[in-house]
A and B are shown apart, each in its own frame.
Chain A
Amino acid sequence: MLPAETTALLHDVREGDARASDVLFAHVYDELRRLSERYIQGHRGAVTLSTTGLVHEAYLKMVGGGEWADRAHFLAVAARAMRQVLTDRARARRTDKRGGALRAVTLHDDLVAGHDAPLDQLLAVHDALERLASRDARLARLVELRFFGGMEVDEAAEVLGTSPRTTARDWARAKAYLRSFLA
C-alpha cells in the first residue's frame, strides 16, 4: 500500500468511516506481520527490535511523513495491530505445541516448549487487558499503546490527547489493575 493510499484511509477513518478503519487495520496488521517475520529471520546477529521499532518501521513504510494527527492515529492503529499479531502468533504456537499426537522430542519441540511460558504470559496480559477495557476503555488503550506499541508515556499522552501528568497517573493505575488481574 502506497503512503498516499494510507493517508487517504487515515482521513476517512478520522471522518468516522468504519469500513476504512477495518481496511487500515488489516493493512497495518499485514505489514507488521511481514516486518516481524523478517525480524525473526534476521535477528540472529546484533539486530534487536522492539515493538517501537516495528511500529515505526511500519509507519515510515506506510505513511512516510504527513500530518501529526495522521501519525498519532496510525500509531494507535498499529499498537492494536501489533497486539493482534502477537496474540495470534502466541495462540497458533501454543495450539501447534499442545494439539495433535505426541511427537518425538526434537530440539525444536523443546525450543517451542521453552517458549511456552512467554506465550502464556502474553496471552494472560491480553486477557487482563480485555478485563480492564470492560471497566475503563481509556486505560486499556493506554496500555495497548505502551505495551504493544512500545510508546513512552509522553508519546502516548499525545496520541490520547491527555496531559503527560494524567497519563503517567493513568499508567500507574492501569498496571496496578493488570497486576491484580494477573495475580
Chain B
Amino acid sequence: MTGDPDWGALDAAFDRALALDGPDRDAFLASLDAGLRARLGPLLAAALADDPLFDHPEDLIGAVLDAAGPPDDLGDLGHVGDGTRVGPYRIEALVGEGGMGRVYRARRADGAFDQTVAVKVVRTTLALAGADVVARLRRERALLATLDHPGIARLVDGGETDDGVPYLVTEFVDGAPLTDYADAHGLGVEARVRLLVDVARAVEHAHRRLVVHRDLKPSNVLVAERDGAARPVVLDFGIAKLLDAAGDTSGALTRTGVRLLTPAYAAPELYDPSAAVTTAADVYGLGALLYELLTGRRPHDDAPPAGPPTTEPTRPSKAVTARADGASAAPDLAARARALEGDLDTICLKALHPDLSRRYASAAALADDLVHYLDGRPVEARRDSLAYVAGRFVRRHRAPVAAGAVALVALIVGLGASLVSLRSERAARAEAEAASQRATEAAALLAGVFQNATPSGGGRLLTVREALDIGVGQFRAVRSDDLRAYLLGVSGVTYAYLSEPGRADSLLAESLALYGEGASDSTVSKLRLMYAATRDAFADHEAALALARRVYADQAPSDYTSPLAGRALVVRSRAHLKLGQPEEAIRHATEAVDLARRQGYHARLAPALLQLGMALSALGRHDDAVRAQQEAVRRSAEMHGPTSFAVAEARSALAQTFVDAGRYRDAERTLRVVQADQARDIGPSITLSYTLALIGSATLSQGRFREAATVLDSAVAMGRPTLPPGHADLARWLSDLAAAHNGTGTFRQAEAAAREALRRAEAGADADGVGRAGAQLARALDGLGRRDEARAVRQRVASTPGG
C-alpha cells in the first residue's frame, strides 16, 4: 500500500470514522464513495474488535521466550525437583518438555497405588488463564478418560497444584520415540509400515470416541516393547485441544493463529485458527509420521514453506536419496528408494494431501491401505490403474523366488531388531549405539563375505545359496553371542526358504541354543516356529509340538496379539495330526480359525482353514474338510489374487482332501490348475514336486498307471535333491511310483523305486512308509518271478515294529 495514492484519503476517513460513534459514524460512512467505503469496512471492524494478538501479546512473547530457551537443561528440574510432590504424586525425574509444559516420571506418594506415571505440568503462561480454564480442563479430562486402547497412553488422573497450575497424569510409557526406535532397531520398510498401522488403529479408536489428537509427531508416539513385540503408544491424546480450550478463554492461543502446533507435522488447515479441527488433521499427522519413518525426513523438510504447506511434499522415494548426510542413512538408499516407489509414495502423498477432502477419509482407511500394501494387494490409493494392478501380480510372483535374497537384506537392515531390549530411554540410547555398532560390524562382515566369495577374475554372480554357505562359516566366528545367535538364526530361516531343511534345522538349533531357553521375544518365537517346521520335516513331531506350545504361551493371544499365536496353533495342530491325534489337531486348528476371524487377520485365516481341513479329513469328515478348504481357496484368492502361491497351496490341500475322500477326479481337476500356475511362475521346485506327486496319487487311484508313473517320476526327481533322505513324503511318492510301475507291468522300475522308498522309510523310522514300500517291492519281485525274495521282504516288513 506504500505509494498507494488513496492511502492518505483512506487513512483520514478511517481516523474520522473512529472519532465518531453510533449514528454519526453510519452517516459519515454513507457519505463516502462506495470504493472507499468498501475498503474501510474490514479495517473498521478490525479496529473495533479486541484483537487477540495485538491486544494480548503476552502469550506470543512468552512462547517466543520459551522457544529461545537453552537446549541443554534437560537435567535441570527447575522448581519441580526430585522428591517434590505434585498432588499425590512424587516426582522422580524430568523426562521431557514440549509446547504444553514439562513431563515428569512420578510415583504415587500416598501409597494408594504403586504405579509409575507420567505427570505433565502445564506451562505457566497457560496456567494463568484462570478458573474457567480449570473447569474446562476438567470436562475435557472426563472425555479423555473414555479412551481405552493398548495403543493409547491412558489418562490416570489430573488436577491442580496448590499454586493452581493444572496437571495431567497418564500411564508412563517406557519407550523411545517412534522414529528413534525404528532407526535404533534398523527396522526395514515393512516393519516400519507395520508400526504405523498400529498407530493408525489407536488413532482410529480415539476418533470413534470423537477425540482428535491434533499433534501427532514422533515424540508423541513412543514404542515400548512388551513380550518382545514392539508396541507403539500414542501420548498426549487431546492435549492440544485442552491447551486450545485454555487459550480460548485467555484469548491468546486459538484465535491469534498461535495455535500450538508443530509445523513439520501439522495439517495445513490447522494454521487457520477459524477452521474446525477434524480427524483429517490426524490423518495428515499419521502421513507425516509415515513419511519420516520411511525417509528419515519430515515432509517439506527440503523446502520448508513459511506458512501452511500448499503443495504435496517431495515423493518419499525421491526424498530418501536426497538426504543431505549419508552418514546416518540406511545401508542401501537406492534399495530403500525402490521399496518406496509406487505404493508407499502414493499412500504417503494421499495422507499428506494439502486438500483435506482428498486425504484418506479416516485413520482406518489409511491403516487398511497399508495392510493391503503389506499383503501385496492393490492399494486403495491407486485402485484405478489397470497397469498397476497387473504390476502387483508380477511383484507377488517374483517374491518367493527372491525370498533368500530378501532374507539376506533383512540380515543387514534389520539387524538391531532382536538385540535391543528397551528398559529406559537412556538405556535404549546406549543399547541403540551398541546395536548400531554391531549392525555395522555385521554389514562389514557380509560385505566381506560377498567380496571374498567372488571367484578371482570371474564375473560370475554369486548365488544366495553360495554366499550363505560361506557366510555361515564366518558367522560362527562372530564373538558376540547375541549377534552370532541372530546371524545363524536368519541364515537358518534362509536355508529353510531355500528348501534345505537339513541345513536350516541344524542352524536353527544352534541359534536357539545361543538365545537360551529364557528368550521369548517375537524374533525368537519366529525362529522357534521355523525350527518346529524343520523338526516336523525330520518327523520329530514331539519336538515340533513342544516348540509350538512354547511360542503359543509366549505370544498368548489377546486383542493385541501378534499373528504368531495363530501360527503356533496351526503348527501344534499339524504336529498332533502327524502324531495321530486328529481330535487334538481339530481343536487347535479350530482355535486358530476363530482367532484369525476374531482379530481380522485375514492373512492367517486361510492357513488355519487349510489345517482344519486336513485334520477333519483325517477323521473321515471329508465334507466338512472340503468346505473349510474351499473357503481357504476363496479367501486366498480374494487376498492374494487367483493365481497366487497362497491359492495354489490351498488348492493343493483341497486336492489332498479330495484324494482322501476318494474323489480322484475332483482332485486331479483341482491340481491341474495348480500345476499350470506353478510350472509357469516358478518352474521346477520342491513346491511343484508336491503338486505333481498329488496328481500322480490321484491318477494312480483312477488306475491310469502310465500317466501316474510319468508324473510321479518327475515329482521324485524334483524332490530328491532337496528333501532329507528320511523324508516320509519322498518315500510315499517312491512307493506310489513303484505302484504305478507295478500297474503297467514295468517291474524292474517298480523294484528300483520300491527299494529306494524302503531305504528312505527305514532311515526315517517311518513304519507306515516301510509297510507301503515293502508291499510294492514284494509285488514287483512277484512280477519278476522272484517269489522267495518277495516272501522274505513280506516277512521283514511284517516284523518291523509298528508296521
Chain B residues with CB under 8 A of A169: 15, 18-19
* Contact across chains for A40 and B66 when beta carbons are under 8 A apart: yes
Given contacts A44-B79, A48-B125, A114-B262, contact A172 B306 (CB under 8 A): no
* Contact across chains for A176 and B44 when beta carbons are under 8 A apart: yes
* Contact across chains for A121 and B128 when beta carbons are under 8 A apart: no
Complex CA distance for A48 and B62, rounded to whole angstroms: 8
Report the minimal beta-carbon distance from A29 to chain B, rounded to whole angstroms.
Answer: 15
Can you list, as one digit per residue, whether each of A38-67 has a CB less than 8 Å from chain B (1) or not (0)?
Answer: 011111111111110000000000000000
Report the minimal beta-carbon distance from A58 to chain B, rounded to whole angstroms.
Answer: 15
* Contact across chains for A115 and B99 when beta carbons are under 8 A apart: yes
* Contact across chains for B165 and A46 when beta carbons are under 8 A apart: yes
* Contact across chains for B258 and A117 when beta carbons are under 8 A apart: yes
Chain A residues with CB under 8 A of B217: 110, 113
B124 touches which of A48, A107, A147 (Cβ 8 Å): A48
* Contact across chains for A110 and B219 when beta carbons are under 8 A apart: yes
Say which one of B53-61, B544-552, B744-752 lies at the interface with A.
Answer: B53-61
Report the minimal beta-carbon distance from A55 to chain B, rounded to whole angstroms.
Answer: 11
A147 touches which of B11, B54, B97 (Cβ 8 Å): B54
Say which one of A11-19, A70-78, A131-139 lies at the interface with B.
Answer: A131-139
- Most A CB contacts (10 A, CB to CB) among B68, B306, B323 go to B68
Report the minimal beta-carbon distance from A174 to chain B, rounded to whole angstroms.
Answer: 8
Complex CA distance for A29 and B69, rounded to whole angstroms: 18
* Contact across chains for A119 and B18 when beta carbons are under 8 A apart: no
B80 touches which of A44, A89, A111 (Cβ 8 Å): A44
Chain A residues with CB under 8 A of B261: 114, 117
Can you list, as one digit per residue, whether each of A97-133 has a CB less than 8 Å from chain B (1) or not (0)?
Answer: 0100110111110111111111111100100000100
Report the minimal beta-carbon distance from A152 to chain B, rounded to whole angstroms.
Answer: 11
Report the minimal beta-carbon distance from B349 to chain A, rounded to whole angstroms.
Answer: 20
Complex CA distance for A135 and B259, rounded to whole angstroms: 30
A80 CB–B CB distance under 8 Å:
no
Chain B residues with CB under 8 A of A176: 14, 43-44, 46-47
A25 CB–B CB distance under 8 Å:
no
* Contact across chains for B258 and A121 when beta carbons are under 8 A apart: yes
B262 touches which of A41, A89, A113 (Cβ 8 Å): A113
B112 CB–A CB distance under 8 Å:
no
Given contacts A40-B70, A110-B262, A120-B306, contact A175 B51 (CB under 8 A): yes
Complex CA distance for A136 and B2, rounded to whole angstroms: 10
A6 CB–B CB distance under 8 Å:
no
A36 touches which of B14, B44, B65, B256 (Cβ 8 Å): B65
Can you list, as one digit per residue, whether each of B380-410 has a CB less than 8 Å from chain A (1) or not (0)?
Answer: 0000000000000000000000000000000
* Contact across chains for A179 and B51 when beta carbons are under 8 A apart: yes
B31 CB–A CB distance under 8 Å:
no
* Contact across chains for B96 and A113 when beta carbons are under 8 A apart: no
* Contact across chains for B218 and A105 when beta carbons are under 8 A apart: yes
Complex CA distance for A40 and B60, rounded to whole angstroms: 14
Complex CA distance for A120 and B304, rounded to whole angstroms: 12
* Contact across chains for A39 and B15 when beta carbons are under 8 A apart: no
Report the minimal beta-carbon distance from A1 to chain B, rounded to whole angstroms.
Answer: 23
Interface residues of chain A: helix, strand, loop or mixed (majority): helix
* Contact across chains for B218 and A111 when beta carbons are under 8 A apart: no
B102 CB–A CB distance under 8 Å:
yes
Can you list, as one digit per residue, whether each of B176-203 has a CB less than 8 Å from chain A (1) or not (0)?
Answer: 0101100100000000000000000000
Chain A residues with CB under 8 A of B7: 135
| CB-based nearest A residue for B80 | A44
A90 CB–B CB distance under 8 Å:
yes
B6 CB–A CB distance under 8 Å:
no
* Contact across chains for A43 and B260 when beta carbons are under 8 A apart: no
CB interface residues, B 457-504, toward A, < 8 Å? none
Chain A residues with CB under 8 A of B99: 111, 114-115
Chain A residues with CB under 8 A of B219: 105-107, 110
* Contact across chains for A108 and B74 when beta carbons are under 8 A apart: yes
* Contact across chains for A119 and B43 when beta carbons are under 8 A apart: no
B301 CB–A CB distance under 8 Å:
yes
Chain A residues with CB under 8 A of B57: 51, 146-148, 150
Report the minimal beta-carbon distance from A173 to chain B, rounded to whole angstroms.
Answer: 6
Report the minimal beta-carbon distance from A64 to chain B, rounded to whole angstroms.
Answer: 25
Chain A residues with CB under 8 A of B102: 44
Can you list, as one digit per residue, whether each of A17-39 has a CB less than 8 Å from chain B (1) or not (0)?
Answer: 00000000000000000001001
Chain B residues with CB under 8 A of A140: none
B296 CB–A CB distance under 8 Å:
yes
Chain B residues with CB under 8 A of A47: 124
Can you list, as one digit per residue, whether each of B233-276 has a CB less than 8 Å from chain A (1) or not (0)?
Answer: 00000000000000000000000111111111100000000000
CB interface residues, B 15-50, toward A, < 8 Å? 15, 18-19, 42-44, 46-48
Report the minimal beta-carbon distance from B386 to chain A, rounded to whole angstroms.
Answer: 38
B9 CB–A CB distance under 8 Å:
no
Chain A residues with CB under 8 A of B130: none
Complex CA distance for A89 and B70, rounded to whole angstroms: 11
Given contacts A119-B67, A147-B57, contact A101 B263 (CB under 8 A): no
Can you list, as one digit per residue, whether each of B318-332 has a CB less than 8 Å from chain A (1) or not (0)?
Answer: 000001110010000
Chain B residues with CB under 8 A of A107: 74, 96-98, 177, 219
Complex CA distance for A44 and B94, rounded to whole angstroms: 12
A114 touches which of B68, B98, B124 (Cβ 8 Å): B98
Complex CA distance for A136 and B47, rounded to whole angstroms: 16
Chain B residues with CB under 8 A of A93: 67-68
Chain B residues with CB under 8 A of A46: 79, 124, 163, 165
A110 touches which of B51, B73, B163, B218 (Cβ 8 Å): B218
CB interface residues, B 155-181, toward A, < 8 Å? 163, 165, 177, 179-180
Chain B residues with CB under 8 A of A86: 61, 64-65
* Contact across chains for B11 and A102 when beta carbons are under 8 A apart: no
B109 CB–A CB distance under 8 Å:
no
| CB-based nearest A residue for B257 | A121
* Contact across chains for B15 and A122 when beta carbons are under 8 A apart: no
Complex CA distance for A41 and B79, rounded to whole angstroms: 10
| CB-based nearest A residue for B45 | A176
Chain B residues with CB under 8 A of A122: 60-61, 64
| CB-based nearest B residue for A107 | B96
Given contacts A119-B64, A121-B258, contact A45 B54 (CB under 8 A): no
Complex CA distance for A125 and B51, rounded to whole angstroms: 13
B55 touches which of A42, A101, A136, A175 (Cβ 8 Å): A175
Can you list, as one digit per residue, whether each of B132-173 has a CB less than 8 Å from chain A (1) or not (0)?
Answer: 000000000000000000000000000000010100000000
* Contact across chains for A102 and B323 when beta carbons are under 8 A apart: yes
| CB-based nearest A residue for B125 | A48
Complex CA distance for A90 and B64, rounded to whole angstroms: 7
Complex CA distance for A90 and B42, rounded to whole angstroms: 30
* Contact across chains for A115 and B256 when beta carbons are under 8 A apart: no
| CB-based nearest A residue for B1 | A135
B263 touches which of A43, A117, A131 (Cβ 8 Å): A117
A113 touches which of B42, B62, B259, B264 (Cβ 8 Å): B264
B71 CB–A CB distance under 8 Å:
yes
Chain B residues with CB under 8 A of A113: 217, 262-265
Chain B residues with CB under 8 A of A116: 67, 262-263
Can you list, as one digit per residue, whether each of B75-100 has a CB less than 8 Å from chain A (1) or not (0)?
Answer: 00011100000000000000011110
Report the minimal beta-carbon distance from A131 to chain B, rounded to whole angstroms.
Answer: 7
B108 CB–A CB distance under 8 Å:
no
A10 CB–B CB distance under 8 Å:
no
| CB-based nearest B residue for A104 | B180
| CB-based nearest B residue for A179 | B46
Complex CA distance for A113 and B42, rounded to whole angstroms: 33
Per CB-CB distance, the 5 closest pairs between chain A and chain B, nearest first, are: A115-B67, A44-B78, A45-B79, A118-B63, A114-B99
Known: A42-B78, A176-B44. 4 other contacts (CB 8 A): A51-B58, A101-B324, A101-B325, A117-B257
Q: Can you pick out 10 interface pairs between chain A and chain B where the beta carbons lie within 8 Å of each other?
A: A39-B65, A40-B66, A49-B62, A98-B304, A112-B67, A113-B263, A115-B63, A116-B262, A125-B53, A172-B18
